[in-house]
Copies of this chain bind each other. A is one copy, B any other.
């Protein structure tokens, strides 16, 4: 152990190696909470150091887990009993090409810093999240977010990667680059995207940027029933086309919990409607004044007249987005959260919500369903709260609830049990259960081929026999 640490220190210097428990504590938790203690934290500052570290760690047989901004929710960046390879010091200033609308950016740069740099050129990396992940973490999680409807996920905006392979040699490869269109071979960078950090260490990315919209209007529309959301979405897509940049759904309970527990929010409606949708239209500087508001009103006013919609609040600032982004905080304040990050067909969302809520209510009457999510892309945070005032939650509650909900999603709705959070130790058992054997087999063999020396926390060949579900 001390020989390993000495070797690592020789590569990264004193500032790059942490081995004291107090120094290491903050590397042991992510967006969902604490994992176990790591055996050391190395923080390389260059790709060359990452490569040298990978060689040394492999020679010593030490397990290693790449780590980004620790905002992940599946536990893929946590390293109990292993060495944390933190990319946080791989964070030079992003290099922006404003005419090409691209940026070359180090793995450790936070999304907020990337977007601050892009905004100076009137550009944005259009992945909208409550959290502030690192670029490398976003790549290996293939982050989606609230504007997926228009701009897609990280994969859809990714042009190139620099990767250090887990091949025992620390081989550095460049895949893609600053051109938008390239079909000159297998697109191997796709393998590392959504890989949970288990196929290689992403050290640098080239990303496509979008023009920062000069005009933006949001509306929070209270609907009489959740089923009214899908027709409104389709109508807005027809009328507003690509000007529609977000369409989020909020259950009455999620809205109430956010307003009750987050005092900085303004209350949009006198009484919470059965279901609300947050709609964003945005576009370029040349749009005439009032266009976006008119488009919204032309879609919403007829619904209010016939009673399908109850009320609407319109805003050109961020006050309605603030409500949407405060929901997770509102749920946490109310009790212990059980999260189901799922996706189904857009037209199935309201039926799924109804069936799943009924099943949950029958089995666990004390659980409060407080779902919200991305109606525009079929994604739903079907989250539940075991309220503080209900006493301690039964042992194994979260796993049992997720098992029930995920089985419904996959088996009845052909949906996804991990729409945006990816795979990690926290849901690997569900992966083993719901991924067909030939797919798991191929994934496991691809992983062993690409990363024969081993890396990260996920075995994509995971066998069902090992599952605890």
Contacts A173-B438, A284-B241, A286-B298 given; indicate if A148 touches B181 (C-beta within 8 A). yes
- Chain B min CB distance to A297 (Å): 10
CB <8 Å contact, A180 and B379: yes
CB distance from A322 to the nearest CB of B (A): 24
Residue numbers in B under 8 Å from A150 (CB-CB): 242
Decide: A184 near B443, CB < 8 A? Known: A241-B282, A345-B102.
no
| Contacting pair A431 B184 (CB below 8 A) | yes
Say whether A193 contacts B187, CB under 8 Å. Answer: yes
- Which residue in chain B gives the minimum CB-CB distance to A148? B181
Within A178-205, which residues are at the interface with B (CB < 8 Å)? 178-188, 190-191, 193-195, 199
Tell me the nearest residue of chain B to A239, going by C-beta.
B286
A422 within 8 A of B: yes
- Is the CB–CB distance between B449 and A345 below 8 Å? no
A–B complex contacts, Cβ < 8 Å, 11 sampled: A100-B346, A148-B181, A180-B343, A182-B416, A183-B418, A184-B423, A238-B285, A239-B285, A240-B286, A241-B243, A242-B283
State in angstroms the CA–CA spacing of A186 and B435 once bound together.
Answer: 11
Chain B, residue nearest A345 (CB):
B100
Q: Which residues of B contact A153 (CB under 8 A)?
A: 181
Asked whether B191 lies within 8 Å of A148 as measured between CB atoms, the reply is no
In the assembled complex, how far is the CB of residue A67 from the closest CB belonging to chain B, in whole angstroms?
18
A54 CB to closest chain B CB, in angstroms?
14
Taking a contact as CB atoms under 8 Å apart, the answer to whether B99 and A181 are in contact is: no
A112 CB–B CB distance under 8 Å: no
Contacts of A181 in B (CB 8 A): 144, 148, 153, 343, 374, 377-379, 416, 419-420
Task: Provide the residues of chain B in CB contact with A174, threshold 8 Å.
Answer: 436, 439
User: CA A238 – CA B393 in complex, angstroms?
Assistant: 52
Q: In the complex, which residues 433-469 of chain A have their Cβ closer than 8 Å to any Cβ of chain B?
A: 434-436, 438-440, 442-443, 445-447, 449-450, 460
Name the interface size band of chain A.
35 or more
Copies in the complex: 2
Question: Once bound together, how far apart are the Cα atoms of A240 and B288, in whole Å?
Answer: 11
- Distance from A319 Cβ to chain B, minimum over Cβ atoms (Å): 23
A296 to chain B: closest residue by CB: B286
Q: Is A344 an interface residue (CB 8 A)?
A: yes
A62 at the interface (CB under 8 A from B): no
With most chain B CB atoms within 10 A of its CB, the pick from A288, A344, A416, A446 is A416
A260 at the interface (CB under 8 A from B): no
Interface string of A251-292 (1 = CB under 8 A from B): 000000000000000000000000000000011111110010
Asked if B238 and A214 sit within 8 Å, CB to CB, the answer is: yes
> Nearest CB to that of A377 among chain B residues?
B180
10 closest residue pairs by CB, A with B: A241-B284, A239-B286, A99-B347, A190-B190, A242-B242, A182-B416, A184-B418, A241-B283, A100-B345, A181-B419
Q: Does A13 touch B at the CB level, under 8 Å? A: no
Contact B173 A436 (CB under 8 A): yes
Are A178 and B414 within 8 A (Cβ)?
A: yes
With A97-B345, A99-B346 as contacts: A240 and B284 at CB distance below 8 Å: yes
Residues of A107-165 contacting chain B, CB below 8 A: 122, 141-142, 144, 148, 150, 152-153, 155-156, 165
- A55 lies within 8 A of chain B by Cβ: no
Q: Mark A337-358 against chain B: 1 for CB-CB distance below 8 A, else 0.
A: 0000001111100000000000
Q: What are the residues of chain B within 8 A of A98 when measuring CB–CB? A: 234
**Min distance, Cβ A340 to any Cβ of chain B, angstroms:** 12
* A443 contacts B101, C-beta separation under 8 Å: no
In the complex, what residues of B have CB within 8 A of residue A183's CB?
A: 141-142, 144, 194, 416, 418-423
Whether, in the assembled complex, A211 has its beta carbon less than 8 Å from a beta carbon of chain B, the answer is: yes
Residues of B within 8 A of A333 (CB): none
Q: Is A417 an interface residue (CB 8 A)?
A: yes
A419 to B463 Cα, complex, angstroms: 40
Interchain CB contact under 8 A, A179 and B435: no
Does A295 lie at the interface of the complex (its beta carbon under 8 Å from any beta carbon of B)? yes
Distance from A381 Cβ to chain B, minimum over Cβ atoms (Å): 12
What residues on B are CB-neighbors of A142 within 8 Å?
183, 187
User: A104 → chain B, closest Cβ, in Å?
Assistant: 11
In angstroms, Cα B214 to Cα A434, docked, is 41
Alpha-carbon distance between A378 and B100 when the two chains are bound, in angstroms: 8
Select from chain B the residue with minimum beta-carbon distance to A409: B179
